[in-house]
């Protein structure tokens, strides 16, 4: 079986894309973003599946089950990125290689957005590139899975 399954996980408030500050998040909805990511993945020979939750426990439990369904993950945990050590622990537990993505440029916003609980755990971090950031993340994953094979 080829190692090409990528779980794309969006956390808290990302279901509200399309209505959030366009200066940071553009105008696309989560469904539109997921369609775009699905196309990027197909171009790269990857298979994307999607998950979003506003409930931290649900997000954690999805991470627990990740090894059964994915070879790699893209995680945009929204604000949880900046303080949820529970989500970091769950990703570490999963052992699934992950790239952290942010739509906005978290390095140029409030100080608290510069902190990431995923530091040192993820194989890559992409931010401030809107939809294109997900393509970059998928390219990193394709390279990583290719190296592992």
Closest to ligand DQA by CB, 67 vs 114, is: 114
Q: Would you state the torsion angle of the CA atoms of residues 53, 57, 62, 65, taken in this order, to the nearest 10 degrees?
A: -170
Q: How far apart are CA 132 and CA 113, in angstroms?
A: 20
- Using rule CB under 6 A, residue 54 touches ligand DQA: no
144 included as an active-site residue: no
Q: Which stretch, 47-55, 62-70, 74-82, 137-145, contacts ligand DQA (CB under 6 A)?
A: 74-82
102 included as an active-site residue: yes
- Using rule CB under 6 A, residue 76 touches ligand DQA: yes
Specify burial of residue 123 (Cβ count, 10 A radius: 0-12, 13-18, 19+).
Answer: middle
- Using rule CB under 6 A, residue 103 touches ligand DQA: yes
Closest to ligand DQA by CB, 81 vs 94, is: 81
Q: Which residues bind ligand DQA (CB under 6 A)?
A: 13, 76, 78-79, 81, 102-104, 106, 113
């Amino acid at each position: 079986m080829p190692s090409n399954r990528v779980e794309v996980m969006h956390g808290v408030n990302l279901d509200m894309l399309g209505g959030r500050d366009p200066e940071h998040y553009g105008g696309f909805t989560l469904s539109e973003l997921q369609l775009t990511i699905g196309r990027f993945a197909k171009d790269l020979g990857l298979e994307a599946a999607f998950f979003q939750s506003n409930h931290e426990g649900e997000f954690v439990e999805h991470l627990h089950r990740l090894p059964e369904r994915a070879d790699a993950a893209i995680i945009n945990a929204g604000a949880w990125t900046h303080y949820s050590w529970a989500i970091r622990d769950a990703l570490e537990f999963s052992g699934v290689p992950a790239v952290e993505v942010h739509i906005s440029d978290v390095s140029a916003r409030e100080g608290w957005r510069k902190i990431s609980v995923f530091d040192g755990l993820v194989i890559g971090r992409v931010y401030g590139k809107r939809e294109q950031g997900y393509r970059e993340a998928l390219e990193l994953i394709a390279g990583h899975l290719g190296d592992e094979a």
